[in-house]
Amino acid sequence: MIRIYLERFKQNRFAIIGFVVIGILAVLAIAAPWLCPRDPSAQSLMERLAGPSRIHWMGTDDLGRDVFSRLLMGTRISLSVGFVAVAIELLIGVTLGLCAGFFGGNFDTFVMRLVDIMLSIPTIFLILAVLAFLGPNIYNVMAVIGLTAWPGLTRLVRGECLSIREREYIQAAKISGISTPRILFVHLLPNVIAPILVSATLGVAGAILTESALSFLGLGVQPPTPSWGNILTIGRDYLHIAWWLSVFPTLAILVTVLAFNLLGEGLRDVLDPRT
């Protein structure tokens, strides 16, 4: 079965492109402290707003900091936020979805009403309100994005479980006396893992976009820690005289989000049994 999935994946060019780009970004994020040609926080007012050159490949910002070095460190920040936020989303969404779909009854009703309430609140306003109360920093951003993203995943997992819990092997596991946690995570979870993987991949892209938007608004990662969003914030004030402050972080966000979306769509095609 795994071999069949691998063969399908190899035939999907866009999924391979997304996978390769994400792999390169992961390597850059891990090796960022050693790959940065200059200290991302080092200021040089004599070189402020200098254009791209052999010394500064992507120019400098309003404080003379090297934009290329800051973008590299921003890759680590953005990917960290994306993966941690999705990990929180998976922990809550998968657990609640499995339990709601398996147990049903009042617990299912309670979880679904909670999901409806969460989905009825505009996510960005909820995030802004929580961050305004807790204060903006990278850890709060990770937690808030993860804690507001789980309702959709819960509904997805719950729907899959409803169609699986009545199958013969699940009933046989119940009759044989296997513990409920074992049924949930050994028998049910592997059969809903495909849509979870697709949702998680697309969720990373969404989390990166949300973090960039929050940083752009000044409620995300705070300076001097570099992130793609707060580099864009600086670029907004110097758009007509320092185009590189807006173009390069925008391209970084575009390429990263596109790569995750391509990989997610590719996984959907590969893991869908109807194909």
Tell me: the pLDDT tens digits for 13-37? Answer: 888 998 999 999 999 999 988 888 8
Least confident of 2-6, 26-30, 239-243: 2-6
Q: What percent of the chain has pLDDT over 70?
A: 97
Q: Residue 168's pLDDT is what?
A: 79
Question: What is the identity of the amino acid at 147?
Answer: L
- Which position has the higher pLDDT, 56 or 71? 71
Q: Residue 256's pLDDT is what?
A: 92
Question: What is the identity of the amino acid at 91?
Answer: L
- What is the band of 1 on the pLDDT scale with cuts at 50, 70, 90? low
- 2-39+48-271 maps to which CATH number? 1.10.3720.10
Q: Residue 25's pLDDT is what?
A: 92
Q: Of 251, 231, 253, nearest to 65 (Cα)? A: 231
In the chain, where the domains are located:
2-39+48-271
Q: What percent of the chain has pLDDT over 90?
A: 13
pLDDT averaged over every residue in the chain:
85
What is the average per-residue pLDDT within 169-189?
Answer: 79
- What is the band of 164 on the pLDDT scale with cuts at 50, 70, 90? confident
Least confident of 63-72, 98-107, 173-182: 173-182
Tokens representing 252 are 């970084």
Q: Residue 102's pLDDT is what?
A: 83
- What is the band of 258 on the pLDDT scale with cuts at 50, 70, 90? very high
Q: Residue 221's pLDDT is what?
A: 79
Q: Residue 22's pLDDT is what?
A: 92
What is the average per-residue pLDDT within 177-181?
Answer: 78
- Which position has the higher pLDDT, 260 or 235? 260
Q: Residue 171's pLDDT is what?
A: 78
What is the average per-residue pLDDT within 155-161?
Answer: 88
CA atoms within 13 A on the CB side of 273: 6
Query: Is the predicted pLDDT of residue 273 greater than 60, yes or no?
Result: no
Express each pLDDT in 66-104 by its tens digit. 889 899 988 988 899 899 999 999 999 999 998 888 888
Using CA atoms, how far apart are residues 76 and 15, in angstroms rounded to an integer?
Answer: 22
- Residue 270 makes CB contacts below 8 A (sequence gap 6+) with 5, 8, 9, 12, 15
Using CA atoms, how far apart are residues 13 and 237, in angstroms rounded to an integer?
Answer: 39
Q: Are 43 and 64 in contact (CB under 8 A)?
A: yes
